Structure 1
């Protein structure tokens, strides 16, 4: 039993190896470009993980492809354009500002402005309605049931209230 436990403890660390990419670069600038690009591009399979952090086979292939393109001397924009052409705008964590992404970039601000205008209009209408009635602006005036009743309606209301007291 003891030997089995020792074998199991020795075997577990060996089975949990992670694949680590080792790329050779001609200079530190190329290494930094590679690291920046793999951190900025999203893995198409992993939804919310960048290429640098993902262990999926497609991310490994993309790291290899980016390494090849960096070594060839392709610009960052060329590499990004290649990835977008191949996988769509999804691979960009920060989508470009285009006609299709205008709502994504400016939609929250537009909705916030519309909400502010609606609140402003509603508060102004309430103020105007309160001041045009000739009544005060206090809460007791708003809760007064006889407000806005004709003389006949007030008289009828008083009679009904007197009947309730009996």
Structure 2
């Protein structure tokens, strides 16, 4: 047991019982947050705690104040997907909350239905755009695959090409 105690003192290991004892005994009313202490120290105010162990020791470091450099902002060009996303966000914010008016009161049922219809029309158009783009990408992939297979198959390659003066090239 003495070896464990000696090892704890050498390595400065604190047991949970010692931690709870220290936290219970140090619940004084003169606690000051460290950030407040540092702010007051920067202003030149001094602290008198009476007991040196009661307060935190603040080491005197000189603050090197460097002028803040403002970086020039360069215009950033965005791609089509980013522009579409931003436009979607703007359109969505224009529609807003359909169940409340600008003052926060609930709206009448007929107005709510009209706003919801407008919102659903917008959402439906976005879904249709996604579907059309998906079909386009699928068909474009099929065309490329067909062209590759025609190049490999010599019997079908006579059907493709450019016809000039009744001769196929």
Tell whether the structures are fold-level matches, with TM greater than 0.5: no
Q: Which of these two proteins has the greater Rg computed from alpha carbons?
A: 2
- The alignment's TM-score, normalised by the length of structure 1, stands at 0.29
- The alignment's TM-score, normalised by the length of structure 2, stands at 0.28
